């Protein structure tokens, strides 16, 4: 497969970043190159417009940014994904998990999942973070290389953000996405990674066929990759306590092999980190960890890509 278009986009990314940006040189599935710290930015403490969890490398350096929006209109809080998000940060990224609805209140849950968030609040938070994070950590955020990442219905918000401001972000990841805003093409050249799981459409469907990762892949411009992993479900990405809650109320179908959950979360962080190392840090060969089946440690049901924009 040829990678001319994708590599061209990455070359522009590297020129934009300059020569000081950290680049992870290891295998994202197994390596832990950097120690990670965390911050909580609240409305009461730091006057943050939206509650935000930050995971970041503890070493000095320049690191790209990733804005993350969780599922169920962020009623699945960013902290519920801490294992995966902190591991991604260890590969050289500032991860900002933004909670639209915080604190969680019973009356707010009535409207959860309606996909009616005011995305201007995310743009406001993005601008506020750029100002607030100056000199707050040993590392420096490379805001000129920023990705959007989402899970489930949080991807409805990130898709709308990209439609509204397509030049603001460098790349994007859709993890088990759900959105009804998939009728029109997203005719842009931005690297995108669409990720699905087999059990998300089994039993109680936490992913709706025709409105999820395959549809995102279909409407997207390029470059793009779509992957579906076998044997795992929608809640398996979550930390232990929220995963247990999902299991107990039978909200989404989960993997029957619970002994594999740690391995699965390592896989998710490795796959997403591979894409981010390629698209934000400019290490083009890291893309092989999500495009070459022998290097992918879990069983797949689907793996397709258009990195050279041949499908446009």
Mean pLDDT, residues 104-117: 57
Partners of residue 275 on adjacent β-strands: none
Residue from 198, 193, 217 nearest 272 by CA: 193
Q: Confirm if 10 and 286 have CB atoms less than 8 A apart.
A: no
For residue 180, the SS3 value is coil
Residue 311 in any domain: the answer is no
Partners of residue 171 on adjacent β-strands: 147
Residue 312 in any domain: the answer is no
In angstroms, the CA 167 to CA 241 distance is 37
- What is the strand order of the sheet 94-99 is part of? 36-41, 51-57, 94-99, 61-69, 139-151, 171-175, 186-197, 220-229, 300-306
Instruction: Give the CATH number of the domain where residue 204 resides.
Output: 3.40.50.1820
Residue 126 in any domain: the answer is yes
Q: What is the pLDDT of residues 218-239, one digit of tens each?
A: 999 999 999 999 999 999 999 9
How much of the chain exceeds pLDDT 70, in percent? Answer: 89
Domain count, the chain: 1
Packing angle of the helix pair 4-17, 261-279 (nearest 10 deg) = 80
Check whether 15 has a pLDDT greater than 50. Answer: no
Residue from 182, 147, 134 nearest 69 by CA: 147
In angstroms, the CA 110 to CA 89 distance is 33
For residue 2, the model assigns a pLDDT of: 44
Return the residue matching tokens 């601008």: 127
Residue 61 in any domain: the answer is yes
Query: How many residues make up the chain in this entry?
Result: 312
Domain that holds residue 169: 4-302
For residue 101, the model assigns a pLDDT of: 82
pTM for the model stands at: 0.92
> pLDDT class for 251, splitting at 50, 70, 90?
confident
Residue from 135, 180, 184 nearest 153 by CA: 180
Check whether 66 has a pLDDT greater than 70. Answer: yes
Residue 184 in any domain: the answer is yes
For the chain, list the strands marked E by DSSP. Answer: 36-41, 51-57, 61-69, 94-99, 139-151, 171-175, 186-197, 220-229, 300-306
Q: What is the DSSP letter of 295?
A: G
Check whether 114 has a pLDDT greater than 90. Answer: no
For residue 204, the model assigns a pLDDT of: 77
Q: What is the pLDDT of residues 119-133, one digit of tens each?
A: 999 999 999 999 999
Average per-residue pLDDT in the chain?
A: 90
In angstroms, the CA 58 to CA 199 distance is 36
Residue 75 in any domain: the answer is yes
Residue 310 in any domain: the answer is no
In angstroms, the CA 19 to CA 94 distance is 18
How much of the chain exceeds pLDDT 90, in percent? Answer: 78
Q: Confirm if 85 and 78 have CB atoms less than 8 A apart.
A: yes
Check whether 19 has a pLDDT greater than 70. Answer: no
Alpha carbon of 112 to those of 49, 101, 117, 155, 193: distances in Å?
Answer: 20, 9, 10, 14, 26
> pLDDT class for 208, splitting at 50, 70, 90?
confident
> pLDDT class for 74, splitting at 50, 70, 90?
confident
Residue 22 in any domain: the answer is yes
Q: Confirm if 251 and 235 have CB atoms less than 8 A apart.
A: yes
């Amino acid at each position: 497969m040829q990678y001319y278009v994708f590599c061209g986009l990455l070359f522009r990314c590297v020129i934009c970043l300059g020569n000081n940006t950290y680049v992870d040189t290891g295998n994202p599935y197994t390596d832990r190159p950097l120690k990670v710290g965390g911050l909580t930015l609240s409305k009461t403490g730091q006057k943050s417009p939206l509650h935000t969890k930050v995971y970041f490398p503890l070493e000095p350096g320049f690191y790209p940014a990733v804005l993350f929006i969780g599922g169920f209109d962020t009623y699945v809080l960013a902290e519920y994904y801490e294992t995966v998000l902190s591991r991604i940060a260890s590969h050289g990224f500032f991860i900002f998990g933004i909670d639209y609805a915080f604190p969680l209140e019973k009356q707010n849950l009535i409207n959860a999942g309606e996909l009616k968030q005011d995305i201007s609040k995310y743009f406001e938070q993005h601008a506020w973070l750029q100002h607030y994070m100056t000199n707050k950590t040993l590392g420096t955020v490379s805001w000129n290389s920023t990705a959007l990442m989402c899970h489930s219905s949080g991807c409805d918000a990130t898709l709308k953000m990209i439609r509204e401001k397509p030049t603001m972000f460098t790349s994007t990841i859709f993890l088990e996405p759900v959105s009804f805003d998939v009728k029109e093409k997203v005719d842009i050249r931005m690297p995108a990674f669409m990720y699905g799981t087999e059990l998300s459409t089994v039993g109680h469907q936490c992913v709706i066929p025709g409105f999820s990762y395959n549809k995102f892949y279909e409407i997207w411009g390029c470059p793009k990759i779509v992957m579906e992993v076998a044997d795992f479900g929608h809640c398996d990405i979550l930390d232990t306590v929220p995963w247990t809650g999902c299991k107990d109320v039978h909200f989404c179908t989960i993997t029957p092999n619970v002994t594999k959950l740690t391995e699965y979360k390592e896989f998710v962080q490795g796959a997403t980190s591979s894409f981010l190392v390629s698209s934000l840090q400019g290490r083009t060969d890291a893309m092989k960890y999500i495009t070459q089946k022998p290097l992918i440690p879990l069983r797949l049901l689907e793996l397709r890509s258009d990195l050279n924009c041949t499908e446009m």
